[in-house]
Chains A and B, each alone.
Chain A
Amino acid sequence: MERDDLINDHEYSLLANHDEEHGKAIRKKIWQVTLILTIITVVEVSTGAFIKQYYDGIANDYWWLIKWSFIILTIVKAGYIVLVFMHLGDERKNFKWVILGPYLLFIAYLIFICLSEAADYLSPMIDVISP
């Protein structure tokens, strides 16, 4: 059977080929992003190693700041991976929206509903069950 998908692929796939000069610029960008991702990971791990969540049973008052900086750094890392490594940044705008729009909408809602239900509803229940 003839594979029509491969024939259709050729037009777009062949357009993606580039010359050596173009490749040099792309490789430079790849190494820059590698450096950024490595630095972020090192910062995250050393922050986690030196700043504790609890000191002798007393919660660290600034832990929320650490927690949020972890989350923001993670999203920065994810952005570099998706936009540069997975080339989503180079795709057409309509495709970017098709991929990211519905996903972010669903996940934002899921996180909101789960965490608010957990904190507001379930934890008082658990306190009642096992004081």
Chain B
Amino acid sequence: MGQHSENISKSKLWGGGGSPFRISYGKQWMWMFLVSDALTFGSLLTAYGFARHSADSWPIGEETFNAMPFLGNGYPLLYVALMTFILIVSSVTMVLAVEAGHRKDKKGVAKWLLLTVVGGVFFVSSQAWEWYHFIHGTHYGSVLTAEGWAVVEYLNGGKDLILKFGKGVIVDGATAQSLFDGATATMQGANLIENEYAPEVPQYANFFFFITGFHGFHVFSGVVFNLIVYINVVRGVYDERGHFEMVEKVGLYWHFVDLVWVFVFTFFYLV
């Protein structure tokens, strides 16, 4: 981007008649919007950190999110890693669209932008599936035993009962069976009041719904913006204008959505 390395004297730069940042109005205010949006996401994630640090225990991401579509359980974090990868790739196709725009290569822009939309749609659909799975819960839910809440699971084709008490404590065999038989309460799935993944920290599900939901809505909006710009590209609107800056502006928004997900992925799933 050649124009940014230009040498301009300070008096000329701040002397009026042009942007001292040497950047267009639209791009500058897209950045300003993104800063404010980043503060919102930053606050949400910090609130999540506040709740997590003040709670006695917290569910482990790879135990809660271990399902794959069509394959069932036992794949810790694999699907969400795939979702993350798809979102990163859609960010890459977006920069390629911007780069093609700087060469006024209309066909290139259209191709990469369409691929970006496809990646975004895949991500939003995956999130819908993950929400469905999270709300619906595992097959057997959680039970309140004499030793506290435990997630119920059956190994070896439904024969061997195991109870997962969190912090990696797993009970099996006859002990598990007697604890299971003496259970006084059960919980299945997740909602805003209770969740089977962490019966003692109900706010866990609230944070999951709020943060991934807010992010998911951003992805959805991004897909809509990209689609509108794609239609404009195909109709030749930007050829007429002489530059494809609109692609760059929606691109900034799209990369921001990817950027937020990088942090959500780390703090909600990995750590």
Contact = CB atoms under 8 A, between A and B. Distances in A.
Interface of A: 5-6, 8-20, 22-23, 26-27, 30, 33-34, 37-38, 41, 44-45, 48-49, 52-59, 67, 70-71, 73-74, 77-78, 81-82, 84-87, 90-92, 94-95, 98-99, 102-103, 106-107, 110-111, 114-115, 117-119, 122-123, 126-127
B160 to A, nearest CB: 17
Contacts of B243: 10, 13-14, 16-17
Nearest to A12: B24
B262 A118 contact: no
Interface in B194-229: none
Given A44-B266, A74-B263, A114-B49, 6 more contacts: A8-B25, A15-B2, A45-B81, A90-B4, A111-B49, A119-B54
A103 B39 contact: yes
B103 to A, nearest CB: 5
Contact of B103 (A20, A30, A102): A20
B24 A41 contact: no
B247 to A, nearest CB: 11
A38 B262 contact: no
Contacts, number: 196
Most buried by A among B46, B51, B269: B46
B77 A30 contact: no
Contacts of A90: 1, 4
B130 interface: no
Interface stretch (B131-139, B150-158, B250-258): B250-258
Given A16-B245, A56-B168, A102-B35, A122 B77 contact: no
B21 A98 contact: yes
B198 to A, nearest CB: 14
By Cβ-Cβ distance, the 6 closest A-B pairs, closest first, are A54-B168, A122-B54, A118-B53, A15-B3, A95-B21, A118-B54
A71 to B, nearest CB: 7
B3 A12 contact: yes
